């Protein structure tokens, strides 16, 4: 009796403790696995997707891509073959002098109320070339775009001053000179790490030790000309943005966005289902599937640039043997991998590039699972039934990041089992993320690796080629498998400089045929970039950095 | 008593210095590269080298250690009370820990106090009649609560009290994310909201603390009840209790005398558990989206954020040593012989 009385009293007290109802109308609660750790795109947090969401929505680039309709799930796509102005209104190119002239938009105001001018672009590129940040991404992109002076010389005693590569014609006109003809120039300008800073605000926060305000940008505010301004930021907890009322494309429809860190995907799913949040992502395949049946919730996605691949090191025998590579590709249980890792939502990746990239063609060489053919190729490679492979115990080790063992582990096991079926015995070798990155990126000595982090933010086949397949001697950047083919390097050079799209297309086509024929890596699956969101929310658009533009979202009352 | 406290503080200081040394060199022995983690998988070698230089990792280890301690000219380190800046966020580590530590301390302190208040009477009731209904029920409960990991209980409570019954708020941290938090004074939401006179935030804070505290108390109470019960049973069978009974003292007075002796081991257990749970709070913090010191520690380790790892270890050790000191003082109050 006494217990019942206590319980009744406790229940009666609950309404007193209940918080006020969650925000409605034009407030959006976005549940993420983390909130931005830093806001400087040349800073240490730049590679973290959850950090990119911050500065991407607070800054704007000179150019971007137009919307090109939506897929059958309602996710809008961009047309990567065309560009449209953002902070730049128009531009032209003088091939004789390798010079781009940009006419900048007038009357654009930052969150601090400063007006956008040519000085902001100059400041941004000068800051990039100073390579003073922890991760000099702006310089890196400038070098990909062949901006004059953005070369490796900055690290070997060369000038870190901008010099005459960028010239201010007037307050709203600027010229940027290239060191060589390069078609990737505008593609590079769409990437977040080329977005102009509000130089007035940045200079205000400079110190003698930190003249380029990296600490300010990283820890206090990304001062730019974007649609949202920072209201509140508690690292590791929440990130609150408020609409920039002066945004030049119009005030954002959603006034306030609260990005809340909810590390448990189950809790993100549960809260979205309860109606208290309107948007989330990075759930498990099963959670997405369950949410798709929940009332008031939608799940939609797109095959963008997220993939799963296996790298085989070209410098590590026996993987320098082309027939062995083909045998391995033909043994891959792609449907099984899709079921195990992605609840059947992934699809076999039939190329080294994803379909959305500008210039994509489906290559002729295909490797659907065929164990008989795989065994035959293995024998032709000199290892009938796998005999002889025991000489390479150190090479036959499949590495992946141990932190993601929960889902990469089962995939690796399935690959191990499939390879055993054709007589290729491999061991699994989960490594800590840091060690994995060091060996793959710096030492480049991982013999076999399983990864899903290759997502080119420049949505162009030529851009991705330079990133992943061109040899370092020809300007390759992140060729993780040490793939080297002079013919490919030559085609890349021509494709990068060929101004005529009609003459460029066959070169781009050949590039794709060659890497697929050679198996620069073993493409496995294309995976979906997905979101779960309130059915009142619309306007979700896929961008190559996999971050949503909050400005594009619409929340119905 | 002052001598006793001074001796304990001096010992604690030596322990902290030793720990600082070990942690600094131990994390540098790990076979991993923090620079690669920072600049990302797609960075160029130039970017890598720049990052390495900016973090000071291109310098000899001895020089890095001198800088960490703050003994090199112009450097600021431990001696100046400076933990350095986080390599991931760029913020001063002391500031970050000042933000996350109160979240965990508030949760586990409230949980420990409640668990203690629940467990001691429960343990005493069990001890009064060993093998009785209350004893059997408590035994079953402590076995049940302790047999599952606390994150599992947390998820279960969220499912029942939030998703099904709607009594608890969404597991989204210390406050409703759409509300405005009180100004930070102590970092403890309940205290800060009271200081600001913001009763709505106080109610919201308590409401959000409800499920994590319930989870902690549910799991923590099991071992404490058992400990109190065992000690009470032992003490109740001792000669001086028999003598007290023979002298005709009231059962209440006898229980008070017995409890004083039975509490000492339970307090020791609390102290050990407090330090252990402070370092391992990440599970409960993850389940309830509380960005406390546990999550911070794990994030720092995964990112190889050396300054943050070093500071977290020192701070958790310092808090644990402080708790042990308080417990020693309590022990000394319960048993004055210990002071000598």
pLDDT tens, position by position, B273-305: 887 788 778 888 888 988 899 888 888 887 788
Judge whether A319 and A312 are in contact, CB under 8 Å.
Answer: yes
Examine the pLDDT at B46 and tell me if it is beyond 80.
Answer: no
Q: How far is B53 from chain A (nearest CA, A)?
A: 9
Burial of A82 (0-12, 13-18, 19+ CB in 10 A): exposed
Give the confidence band of A197 by pLDDT, cuts at 50, 70, 90: very high
Give the confidence band of A9 by pLDDT, cuts at 50, 70, 90: very low
Which residues have a Cβ under 8 Å from the Cβ of B167 and sit 6 or more positions away? A11, A14, B161
pLDDT in tens, A72-111: 999 999 999 999 999 999 999 999 999 999 999 999 999 9
C-alpha–C-alpha distance, residues A215 and A228, integer Å: 20
What does pLDDT average to over chain B? Answer: 84
Q: Are strands A522-534 and A297-312 parallel, antiparallel or unpaired?
A: antiparallel
Give the confidence band of B181 by pLDDT, cuts at 50, 70, 90: confident
Judge whether A402 and A414 are in contact, CB under 8 Å.
Answer: no
DSSP label at A62?
Answer: S
Q: What percent of chain A has pLDDT over 90?
A: 74
Range of the domain at B271: 93-339
Fold of the A28-257+535-555 domain = D-Maltodextrin-Binding Protein; domain 2 (3.40.190)
Contact flag A440-B48 (C-beta cutoff 8 Å): no
Contact flag B169-A267 (C-beta cutoff 8 Å): no
Contact flag B48-A442 (C-beta cutoff 8 Å): yes
Examine the pLDDT at A25 and tell me if it is beyond 70.
Answer: no
Return the higher-pLDDT residue of A26 and A329: A329
Q: How many CA atoms lie within 13 A of A130 on its CB side?
A: 15
The residue of chain A with its CA nearest to that of B44 is A477
Of A19, A27, A263, the CB nearest to B286: A263
Contact flag B295-A236 (C-beta cutoff 8 Å): yes
Q: How far is B130 from chain A (nearest CA, A)?
A: 23
Rg (CA), chain A: 25
Which residues have a Cβ under 8 Å from the Cβ of A147 and sit 6 or more positions away? A125, A165, A166, A176, A177, A178, A179
Of A16, A134, A260, the CB nearest to B51: A134
C-alpha–C-alpha distance, residues A311 and A400, integer Å: 10
CA B5 to chain centre: 22
Q: Kindly list the residues from chain B whose CB atom is less than 8 angstroms away from the CB atom of residue A14.
A: 167
C-alpha–C-alpha distance, residues B256 and A238, integer Å: 48
C-alpha–C-alpha distance, residues A508 and B140, integer Å: 70
Tell me the average pLDDT across A306-318.
95
Q: What is the pLDDT of residue A7?
A: 41
Bond before A318 cis per omega within 30 degrees: yes
Examine the pLDDT at A14 and tell me if it is beyond 60.
Answer: no
C-alpha–C-alpha distance, residues A200 and A398, integer Å: 50
C-alpha–C-alpha distance, residues A25 and A522, integer Å: 48
pLDDT in tens, B292-338: 998 888 888 877 888 898 898 889 888 888 888 888 888 777 777 76
Asked whether this complex has an ipTM greater than 0.85, the answer is no
Q: What is the pLDDT of residue A19?
A: 40
Of A19, A140, A219, the CB nearest to B169: A19
pLDDT in tens, A491-502: 999 999 888 889
Q: Are strands A238-243 and A256-261 parallel, antiparallel or unpaired?
A: antiparallel
Q: How big is chain B, counted in residues? A: 340
Per-residue b or e along B18-51, where b marks 16 or more CB atoms closer than 10 Å to that residue's CB = ebbeebbeebeeeebbbbbbbbbbbbbbbbbebb
Contact flag A267-B289 (C-beta cutoff 8 Å): yes
Positive or negative, the CA dihedral B47, B48, B53, B55 is: positive
Contact flag B55-A134 (C-beta cutoff 8 Å): yes
- The residue ranges of DSSP E strands in B293-334, in sequence order, are none
Of B45, B155, B304, the CB nearest to A266: B155
DSSP label at B13?
Answer: H
Please count the structural domains in chain B. Answer: 1
C-alpha–C-alpha distance, residues B49 and B47, integer Å: 6
CA B62 to chain centre: 33
Of A37, A266, A403, the CB nearest to B88: A37
Q: What is the pLDDT of residue B26?
A: 83
Of A22, A45, A270, the CB nearest to B88: A45
Examine the pLDDT at A8 and tell me if it is beyond 50.
Answer: no
Domain ranges for chain A: 28-257+535-555, 303-528
What does pLDDT average to over chain A? Answer: 90
Task: Using a CB–CB cutoff of 8 Å, tell me whether B190 touches chain A.
Answer: no
* CATH number, position B145: 1.10.3720.10
**How many helices and strands (H and E) does chain A possess?**
17, 21
In degrees, rounded to 5, the angle at the alpha carbon of residue A488 between the alpha carbons of residues A484 and A493 is 115
Tell me the average pLDDT across B185-206.
91
- CATH for A303-528 is 3.10.105.10
Does B332 reside within a domain? yes
pLDDT in tens, A280-301: 998 988 899 899 999 999 999 9
Tell me the average pLDDT across B122-148.
81
**How many helices and strands (H and E) does chain B possess?**
14, 0
Q: How far is B154 from chain A (nearest CA, A)?
A: 11
Task: Using a CB–CB cutoff of 8 Å, tell me whether A43 touches chain B.
Answer: yes
Does B84 reside within a domain? no
Q: Cα torsion at A317, A322, A326, A329 (round to 10°)? A: 50
Q: How far is B81 from chain A (nearest CA, A)?
A: 20
Burial of A10 (0-12, 13-18, 19+ CB in 10 A): exposed
Measured between alpha carbons, how far is residue B311 from residues A237, B82, B93, B315 in Å? 20, 9, 7, 6
Q: What is the pLDDT of residue A127?
A: 96
Judge whether A57 and A190 are in contact, CB under 8 Å.
Answer: no
Contact flag B173-A237 (C-beta cutoff 8 Å): yes
Q: Kindly list the residues from chain A whose CB atom is less than 8 angstroms away from the CB atom of residue B91.
A: 219, 235
Measured between alpha carbons, how far is residue A149 from residues A155, A165, A493 in Å? 12, 7, 19
Judge whether A330 and A371 are in contact, CB under 8 Å.
Answer: yes
Q: Of A66, A57, A69, nearest to A85 (Cα)?
A: A66
Q: What is the pLDDT of residue B32?
A: 67
Q: Kindly list the residues from chain B whose CB atom is less than 8 angstroms away from the CB atom of residue A454.
A: 42
Give the confidence band of A487 by pLDDT, cuts at 50, 70, 90: very high
Does B33 reside within a domain? no
Interface of B with A in 147-166 (CB under 8 A): 155, 158-159, 162-163
Interface of B with A in 283-322 (CB under 8 A): 286-287, 289, 291, 295-296, 299, 302, 304
Other Cβ atoms closer than 10 A to A475: 15
Tell me the average pLDDT across A186-215.
94
Q: What is the pLDDT of residue A2?
A: 42
Lowest mean pLDDT among B48-57, B58-67, B228-237, B292-301: B48-57
End-to-end CA distance of chain A: 47
């Amino acid at each position: 009796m006494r217990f019942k009385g206590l319980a009744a009293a406790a229940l009666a007290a609950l309404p007193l403790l209940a918080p006020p109802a969650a925000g409605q109308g034009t407030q959006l609660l976005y549940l993420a696995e983390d909130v931005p750790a830093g806001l400087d795109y040349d800073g240490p947090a730049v590679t973290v997707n959850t950090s990119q969401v911050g500065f991407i929505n607070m800054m704007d680039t000179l150019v971007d891509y137009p919307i090109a309709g939506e897929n059958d799930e309602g996710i809008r796509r961009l047309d990567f073959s065309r560009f449209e102005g953002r902070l730049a209104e128009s531009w032209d190119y003088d091939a004789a002098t390798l010079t781009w002239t940009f006419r900048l938009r007038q009357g654009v105001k930052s969150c601090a109320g400063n007006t956008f001018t040519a000085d902001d672009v100059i400041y941004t590129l000068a800051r990039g070339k100073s390579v003073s940040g922890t991760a000099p991404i702006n310089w890196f992109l400038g070098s990909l775009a062949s901006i004059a002076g953005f070369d490796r010389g900055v690290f070997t005693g060369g000038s870190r001053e901008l010099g005459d590569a960028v010239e201010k014609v007037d307050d709203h006109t600027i010229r940027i000179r290239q060191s060589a003809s390069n078609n990737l120039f505008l593609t590079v300008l769409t990437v977040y790490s080329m977005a102009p800073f509000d130089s007035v605000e940045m200079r205000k926060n400079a110190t003698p030790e930190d003249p380029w305000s990296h600490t300010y940008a990283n820890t206090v505010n990304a001062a730019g000309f974007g649609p949202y301004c920072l209201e509140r930021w508690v690292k590791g907890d929440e990130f609150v943005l408020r609409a920039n009322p002066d945004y030049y494309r119009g005030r954002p429809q959603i006034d306030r966005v609260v990005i809340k860190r909810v590390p448990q995907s189950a809790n993100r799913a549960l809260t979205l289902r309860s109606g208290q949040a309107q948007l989330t992502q990075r759930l498990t395949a099963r959670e997405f599937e369950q949410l798709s049946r929940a009332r008031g919730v939608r799940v939609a996605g797109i095959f963008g640039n997220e993939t799963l691949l296996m790298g085989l090191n070209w410098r590590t025998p026996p993987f320098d043997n082309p027939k062995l590579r083909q045998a391995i590709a033909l043994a891959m249980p792609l449907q099984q991998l899709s079921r195990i890792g992605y609840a059947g939502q992934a699809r076999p990746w039939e190329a080294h590039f994803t379909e959305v990239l500008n210039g994509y063609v489906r290559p002729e060489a295909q490797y659907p699972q065929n164990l008989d053919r795989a065994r035959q190729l293995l024998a032709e490679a000199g290892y009938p039934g796998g005999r002889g492979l025991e000489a390479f115990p150190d090479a036959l080790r499949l590495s992946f990041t141990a932190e993601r063992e929960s889902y990469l582990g089962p995939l690796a096991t399935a690959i191990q089992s499939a390879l055993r079926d054709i007589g290729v015995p491999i061991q699994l070798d989960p490594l800590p993320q840091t060690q994995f990155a060091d060996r793959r990126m710096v030492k480049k000595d991982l013999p076999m690796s399983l990864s899903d982090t290759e997502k080119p933010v420049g949505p162009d086949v030529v851009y991705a080629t330079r990133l992943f397949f061109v040899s370092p001697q020809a300007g390759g950047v992140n060729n993780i498998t040490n793939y080297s083919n002079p013919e490919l390097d030559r085609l890349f050079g021509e494709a990068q400089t060929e101004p005529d799209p009609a003459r460029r297309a066959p070169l781009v086509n050949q590039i794709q045929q060659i890497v697929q024929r050679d198996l620069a890596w073993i493409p496995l699956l294309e995976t979906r970039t997905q979101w779960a969101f309130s059915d009142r929310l619309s306007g979700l658009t896929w961008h190559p950095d996999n971050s949503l533009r909050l400005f594009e979202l619409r929340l119905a009352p | 008593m002052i001598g006793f406290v001074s001796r304990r503080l001096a010992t604690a200081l030596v322990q902290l210095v030793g720990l600082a040394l070990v942690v600094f060199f131990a994390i540098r022995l790990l076979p991993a590269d923090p620079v690669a983690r920072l600049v990302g998988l797609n960075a160029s070698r130039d970017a890598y080298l720049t990052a390495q230089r900016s973090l000071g990792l291109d310098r000899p280890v001895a020089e890095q250690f001198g800088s960490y301690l703050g003994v090199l000219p112009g450097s600021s380190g431990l001696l100046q009370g400076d933990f350095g800046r986080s390599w991931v966020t760029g913020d001063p580590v002391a500031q970050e820990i000042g933000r996350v530590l109160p979240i965990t301390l508030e949760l586990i302190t409230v949980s420990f106090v409640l668990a203690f208040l629940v467990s001691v009477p429960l343990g005493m009731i069990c001890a009064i009649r060993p093998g009785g209904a209350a004893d059997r029920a408590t035994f079953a409960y402590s076995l049940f609560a302790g047999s599952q990991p606390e994150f599992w209980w947390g998820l279960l409570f969220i499912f029942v009290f939030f998703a099904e019954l709607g009594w608890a708020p969404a597991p989204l941290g210390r406050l409703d994310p759409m509300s405005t938090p009180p100004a930070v004074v102590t970092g403890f939401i309940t205290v800060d909201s009271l200081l600001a006179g913001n009763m709505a935030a106080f109610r919201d804070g308590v409401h959000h603390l409800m499920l994590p505290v319930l989870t902690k108390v549910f799991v923590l109470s099991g071992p404490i009840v058992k400990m109190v019960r065992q000690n009470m049973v032992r003490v109740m069978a001792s000669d001086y209790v028999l003598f007290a009974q023979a002298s005709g003292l009231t059962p209440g007075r006898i229980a008070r005398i017995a409890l004083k002796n039975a509490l000492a081991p339970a307090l020791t257990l609390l102290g050990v558990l407090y330090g252990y749970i402070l370092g391992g709070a990440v599970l409960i913090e993850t389940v309830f989206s509380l960005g406390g010191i546990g999550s911070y520690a794990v994030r720092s380790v995964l990112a190889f954020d050396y300054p943050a790892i070093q500071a977290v270890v020192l701070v958790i050790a310092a808090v644990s040593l402080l708790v042990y000191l308080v417990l020693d003082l309590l022990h000394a109050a319960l048993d004055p012989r210990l002071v000598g």
